[in-house]
Chain A
Amino acid sequence: MEWQEVLKRLLQNKISLLGILIILFFIVVAVFAPWIAPPRDADEPYLIPRGGWAIQPQPPSEEYIFGTTEGQYDIFYGIVWGTRTAFRIGLIVVGISSSIGIIVGTIAAYYGGWIDEVIMRITDVFMSIPFIIATIVLVTILGQGITNVMIALITFSWMSTARLMRSQVLSVKEDEFVQAALALGANDFRIIFRHIILNTIFPVVIQASMRMGSMVITASTLSFLGVGAPEGYADWGQMISFARNWILGVEGDPLHYWYTLVIPGVAITLFCLSWNLIGDAFRDILDPKLN
């Protein structure tokens, strides 16, 4: 199916249209973050400003419209700049890990033989450890910080793209246009880039878009567990970990601190939901069993 056709069907489907609209909303928030929530210190915009040093969260007020979380961090500011963090992590991790997967998968399928065997066994090894556990280990060793979180996510997420790319390339490798290029004496590099990758890239792009949500969830899980973003960094996962000590509220009012959990929780869930709505529609459109 051509990509124009897929795009048309995505926009016609109400569910995926909703997903696209939510993503557009987040993009607007991320792009205009400096105007929506002006940073106190222009050099360090990702540090959430604090409204004091008291531990107790404060309910929404005029100054802090979403209230403050543990340690007086401004929730509204954290949500707005956290949107940027989410996009940054998602785009960089998915971009780099997909590129690695494309290169590795193409090499395995194009050359075949023992090269293929070795590469696929390495892929198996990387897939043997549960994703979250592998990233926890690597971040623990590399140390806290957004860059290290991204390195860990990339290290353990290129394999599914590699497998998909491998099967794609295997299916076009024997096609006439590739054989023709070979017969004309084109070198490997040219054949791989001009003829093979350009003809097989489409499903990989779709798979990549479906991974955006799960990469952002995993990154914020690391922050939630206290091994991801450094303290005070605008990151949704960390804001939820701040809420952890307050979910039981106070005597007689168990929902007293609801805003510390619910507001960042809604942000992260909506972000992942929007990508998954599109991914769901993609899969339906492309699933040959359903057509």
Chain B
Amino acid sequence: MISYIIRRFLILPVILLGVSLLIFSMIMMLGPYQRLSTYITDPAQLKGAEDIDQLVTKYGLDDPWYEQYGRWISGVAQGDFGWSESAGAPVTRAIADRFPATIELALLSLIPVIFGGIILGVVSAVHHNKIIDHTIRIFAVIGWSFPSFVFGLLVLMIFYGVLGWLPPGRLSNWATEIVRSAEFVNYTGLYILDGILNLDFSIVLDAIRHMIAPVITISILWWAFILRITRSNMLETLKKDYIRTARAKGLADNIVVYKHAVRNALIPVVTVAGQMVLGLAGGLVIVESIFNIRGLGQFMANSAQQLDYPGVLGGALYFGFLLILINLFVDVSYAVIDPRIRLE
């Protein structure tokens, strides 16, 4: 196991270098003038220069690519991703401001995905080929086919437009005022958590109410995904000899299923966690822009619409690095949970 983990850590810098080169090569597809926009924070900067070519030379935008890469990557290492036009702030600040909203949404989404997917998967497997199994699977394949932007807009149309229950945004106006006031301490930027820490439960309820629709929209796709894997593993496990032995011993069916089978069937589900996290991150772009949540995903979408290159590239690099680390964590913890992986 140790050698597997060491190997995994040794690959890490290679992957990080690769991702940075990939993003950089996309930057280099832009012309020097477009790349100049990374450095311009204020139109006044353009006035002093005789012509734009001088500025291109000043920032070394016609140097060989490896020199530019060196400068760029040392900037990135110091947290300098350039100036984002769409946010009106440096990319690093823009990302830091929006990070809590995204984390809150992502963490909340994991709850229905994991529990809903696993429970439905187990139920589906236990009632294999019965009506309940078919019903669950039909809903799963419909959920998998529903594009999140269509589903999200339908939810908004019905639960906000018609019923008025689930408004967009992160908080109502009155709650935003409280959160911005001096008495309210922003410990984490996650409103639900901050509400609890400030003992202001009206904020907690308001934040939860605003999160329901985006969480459902994100999770509907991944329900189906987790469900399918749980179901398939569960069906395989239920055929194993030790399950037959447990049944032969006269153990109650519930105990056999929930105590013996489920635990063993869930180990492989962990392997897809990394893939799911990548998918969830992609879904955030759509859901945050539909429900007007000021997070990283909405930042990516806005930057793309306004051709704010530093914003898009910085966001992608940030997402990429973050997800590589999460995947590393998933792989290592999987190696710890399941001894079979160590043999690889």
Asked whether A133 lies within 8 Å of B142 as measured between CB atoms, the reply is: no
Asked whether A129 lies within 8 Å of B141 as measured between CB atoms, the reply is: no
B131 at the interface (CB under 8 A from A): no
Asked whether A276 lies within 8 Å of B145 as measured between CB atoms, the reply is: yes
Bound-state Cα–Cα, A122 to B156, Å: 40
B140 to chain A, nearest CB (A): 9
Please encode chain A, from 233 to 265, with 1 for each CB lying within 8 Å of some chain B CB and 0 for all others: 000010010011001110000110010011001
Asked whether A137 lies within 8 Å of B162 as measured between CB atoms, the reply is: no
A59-81 contacts to B, CB under 8 A, are none
**Residues of chain B contacted by A290 (CB below 8 angstroms):** 232, 235-236
Bound-state Cα–Cα, A140 to B316, Å: 12
**Residues of chain B contacted by A133 (CB below 8 angstroms):** 281-282, 285, 300, 315-316, 319
Of the residues B30, B149, B283, contact of A141 by C-beta under 8 Å: B30
Instruction: Evaluate whether A224 and B286 lie within 8 angstroms (CB atoms) in the complex, with A125-B22, A133-B316 already known.
Output: yes
**Residues of chain B contacted by A131 (CB below 8 angstroms):** 278-279, 282
Residue of B nearest to A138 (CB): B26
Interchain pairs with CB closer than 8 A, number: 157
Asked whether B141 lies within 8 Å of A141 as measured between CB atoms, the reply is: no
Bound-state Cα–Cα, A130 to B279, Å: 6
B52 at the interface (CB under 8 A from A): no
Asked whether B282 lies within 8 Å of A247 as measured between CB atoms, the reply is: no
Please encode chain A, from 132 to 165, with 1 for each CB lying within 8 Å of some chain B CB and 0 for all others: 1110111111100000000000000000000000
**Residues of chain B contacted by A94 (CB below 8 angstroms):** none
**Residues of chain B contacted by A57 (CB below 8 angstroms):** none
Instruction: Please tell me the size bucket of the interface on A.
Output: 35 or more
A188 at the interface (CB under 8 A from B): no
Of the residues B29, B30, B146, contact of A269 by C-beta under 8 Å: B146
Count residues on chain B whose CB falls below 8 Å from chain A CBs.
59
Residue of B nearest to A256 (CB): B161
Asked whether A141 lies within 8 Å of B309 as measured between CB atoms, the reply is: yes
**Residues of chain A contacted by B89 (CB below 8 angstroms):** none
Bound-state Cα–Cα, A276 to B303, Å: 32
Asked whether B316 lies within 8 Å of A137 as measured between CB atoms, the reply is: yes
Asked whether A136 lies within 8 Å of B157 as measured between CB atoms, the reply is: no
Asked whether A217 lies within 8 Å of B147 as measured between CB atoms, the reply is: yes
A273 at the interface (CB under 8 A from B): yes
Instruction: Evaluate whether A140 and B149 lie within 8 angstroms (CB atoms) in the complex, with A125-B19, A133-B319, A248-B161 already known.
Output: no
Residue of A nearest to B163 (CB): A254
A169 at the interface (CB under 8 A from B): no
Bound-state Cα–Cα, A289 to B237, Å: 9
Instruction: Evaluate whether A273 and B304 lie within 8 angstroms (CB atoms) in the complex, with A137-B316, A248-B160, A255-B162 already known.
Output: no
A287 at the interface (CB under 8 A from B): yes
A30 at the interface (CB under 8 A from B): no
Asked whether A273 lies within 8 Å of B141 as measured between CB atoms, the reply is: yes
Please report whether the interface of chain B is mostly helix, strand, loop or mixed according to DSSP: helix
B305 at the interface (CB under 8 A from A): yes
Instruction: Evaluate whether A221 and B149 lie within 8 angstroms (CB atoms) in the complex, with A121-B18, A130-B282 already known.
Output: yes
A26-42 contacts to B, CB under 8 A, are none
**Residues of chain B contacted by A277 (CB below 8 angstroms):** 141
B7 to chain A, nearest CB (A): 12
A125 to chain B, nearest CB (A): 3
A227 at the interface (CB under 8 A from B): yes
A206 at the interface (CB under 8 A from B): no
Asked whether A289 lies within 8 Å of B156 as measured between CB atoms, the reply is: no
Asked whether B153 lies within 8 Å of A243 as measured between CB atoms, the reply is: yes
Bound-state Cα–Cα, A134 to B285, Å: 12
Asked whether B305 lies within 8 Å of A225 as measured between CB atoms, the reply is: yes
A152 to chain B, nearest CB (A): 10
B169 at the interface (CB under 8 A from A): no
B11 at the interface (CB under 8 A from A): yes
Asked whether A261 lies within 8 Å of B304 as measured between CB atoms, the reply is: no
B313 at the interface (CB under 8 A from A): yes
Residue of A nearest to B283 (CB): A132
Asked whether A273 lies within 8 Å of B145 as measured between CB atoms, the reply is: yes
Of the residues A125, A134, A261, A276, contact of B150 by C-beta under 8 Å: A261
Residue of B nearest to A132 (CB): B282
B243 at the interface (CB under 8 A from A): no
Asked whether A121 lies within 8 Å of B14 as measured between CB atoms, the reply is: yes
Bound-state Cα–Cα, A227 to B300, Å: 12
B324 at the interface (CB under 8 A from A): yes
Asked whether A130 lies within 8 Å of B323 as measured between CB atoms, the reply is: yes
A95 at the interface (CB under 8 A from B): no
**Residues of chain A contacted by B147 (CB below 8 angstroms):** 217, 220-221, 237, 268-269, 272
**Residues of chain B contacted by A221 (CB below 8 angstroms):** 147-149, 286
Asked whether B145 lies within 8 Å of A128 as measured between CB atoms, the reply is: no
A-B contact pairs, 16 of them (CB 8 A): A129-B319, A132-B282, A132-B283, A133-B285, A136-B285, A137-B316, A141-B26, A220-B149, A225-B289, A225-B301, A237-B149, A247-B153, A261-B150, A265-B154, A268-B147, A290-B236
Question: Using a CB–CB distance below 8 Å, which chain B residues touch chain A?
Answer: 11, 14-15, 18-19, 21-23, 26-27, 29-30, 137-138, 141-142, 144-150, 153-154, 156-157, 160-162, 228, 232-233, 235-236, 278-279, 281-283, 285-286, 289, 300-301, 303-305, 307, 309, 312-313, 315-316, 319-320, 323-324, 327
Question: Using a CB–CB distance below 8 Å, which chain A residues touch chain B?
Answer: 15, 121-122, 124-134, 136-142, 213, 217, 220-221, 224-227, 237, 240, 243-244, 247-249, 254-255, 258, 261-262, 265, 268-269, 272-273, 276-277, 280, 283, 287, 289-290
- For the complex of A and B, 4 pairs with smallest distance between CB atoms: A125-B18, A132-B282, A254-B161, A273-B145
